[in-house]
């Protein structure tokens, strides 16, 4: 990407989009464009068409999406499939019609099959049944990946897709009803500490294993791929190491300084047993994650405290 190129970051106020903005500015990209959801509703085709006709971006990072944890995915499944299908379809189509040089579409590791062989290779996508609690989100994201691939095939576009693992960091969603596991645990342990509670209850058995990537590492990776990768194959982005939810809870407990006990609510769902990405393709392209889990959680907890 040329330093003076016009770059549109969709979803710039979210966890991923804000990290991409920070990284682009750090690397000297100044011609950045973005809109809030109140200024531009990406679910509305007419608004998207008018925006693209006016701005004519050169490059796009499509980080706008409706996202959430197990509970949000389950309760708002209709919104998850509609919003994500409309957002990505409108942006990808407009990118094609306005001759965008390159687009980065972001999928997610949670769209791989529920009982996927571990670590998950890119070719395992669509090889088995999805996790039921996030089926709506997964189907929408798979449609976005396939849309990029088939536009490349038919129209000769350069739309690439990346599959990030579980993300965390500044600007995450810490709402206990809709958040993912990492911010939920950070908030739970922090509130238990300041309110002198004797225990923190975590969902499920604690046995499921998850991989966590700091969002600043993700931003570095997607900009690296925009500059170094042109292909129709999806690419996993992760660290290649996982941790059990129980171990994660113990680590966050230690970082926060909570002195009480951890109690497991086994009436709550565990979700997918394990999600670990095979990141060998990305490593071979010359990129590896840099931020350790402890350092990443520590800085995220500091951000959370400062934002209260």
Question: CATH number, domain at 97?
Answer: 3.40.50.720
Residue 199 in any domain: the answer is no
**Residue 198: how many other CB atoms lie within 10 Å:** 10
Residue 137 falls in the annotated catalytic set = yes
Residue 70 in any domain: the answer is yes
Residue 177 in any domain: the answer is no
Range of the domain at 42: 7-172+211-240+275-291
Residue 284 region by backbone torsions, left for phi larger than 0, else alpha for psi between -120 and 50, else beta: alpha
Catalytic residue from among 29, 59, 96, 137: 137
Residue 72 in any domain: the answer is yes
Is 203 annotated in a binding site? The answer is yes
Is 296 annotated in a binding site? The answer is no
Residue 281 in any domain: the answer is yes
pLDDT in the model for residue 75: 86
CA atoms of 280 and 161, how far apart (whole Å): 16
How many alpha carbons fall within 13 Å on the CB side of residue 168? 33
pLDDT in the model for residue 241: 96
Regions of the chain short of the pLDDT cut 50: none
pLDDT in the model for residue 176: 86
Residue 296 in any domain: the answer is no
Residue 79 in any domain: the answer is yes
Is 141 annotated in a binding site? The answer is yes
Residue 223 in any domain: the answer is yes
Is 12 annotated in a binding site? The answer is yes
pLDDT in the model for residue 133: 85
Longest alpha-carbon distance in the chain: 61
Number of domains in the chain: 1
């Amino acid at each position: 990407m040329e330093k003076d190129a016009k770059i549109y970051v969709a979803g710039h106020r979210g966890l991923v989009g804000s990290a991409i903005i920070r990284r682009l500015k750090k690397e000297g990209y100044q011609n950045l464009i973005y809109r809030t959801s109140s200024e531009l509703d990406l679910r509305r085709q007419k608004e998207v068409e008018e925006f693209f006709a006016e701005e004519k971006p050169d490059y796009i990072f499509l980080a706008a999406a409706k996202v959430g944890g197990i509970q949000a995915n389950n309760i708002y499944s209709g919104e998850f499939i509609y919003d994500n299908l409309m957002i990505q379809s409108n942006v990808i189509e407009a990118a094609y019609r306005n001759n965008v040089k390159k687009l980065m579409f972001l999928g997610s590791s949670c769209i791989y099959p529920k009982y996927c062989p571990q670590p998950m290779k890119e070719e395992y996508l669509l090889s088995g049944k999805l996790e039921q609690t996030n089926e709506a989100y997964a189907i929408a994201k798979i449609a976005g990946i396939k849309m990029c691939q088939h536009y490349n095939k038919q129209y000769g576009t350069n739309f690439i897709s990346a599959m990030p693992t579980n993300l965390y960091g500044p600007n995450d969603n810490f709402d206990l009803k809709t958040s993912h596991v990492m911010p939920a645990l950070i908030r739970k342990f922090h509130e238990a500490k300041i309110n002198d509670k004797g225990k923190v209850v975590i969902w499920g058995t604690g046995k499921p294993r998850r991989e966590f990537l700091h969002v600043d590492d993700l931003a570095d990776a997607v900009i690296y791929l925009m500059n170094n990768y042109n292909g129709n194959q999806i690419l996993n982005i992760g660290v290649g190491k996982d941790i059990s939810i129980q171990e994660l809870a113990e680590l966050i407990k230690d970082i926060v300084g909570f002195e009480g006990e951890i109690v497991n609510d086994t009436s709550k769902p565990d979700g997918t047993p394990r999600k670990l990405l095979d990141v060998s393709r990305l490593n071979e392209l010359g990129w590896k994650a840099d931020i350790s889990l402890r350092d990443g959680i520590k800085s995220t907890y500091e951000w959370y405290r400062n934002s209260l």
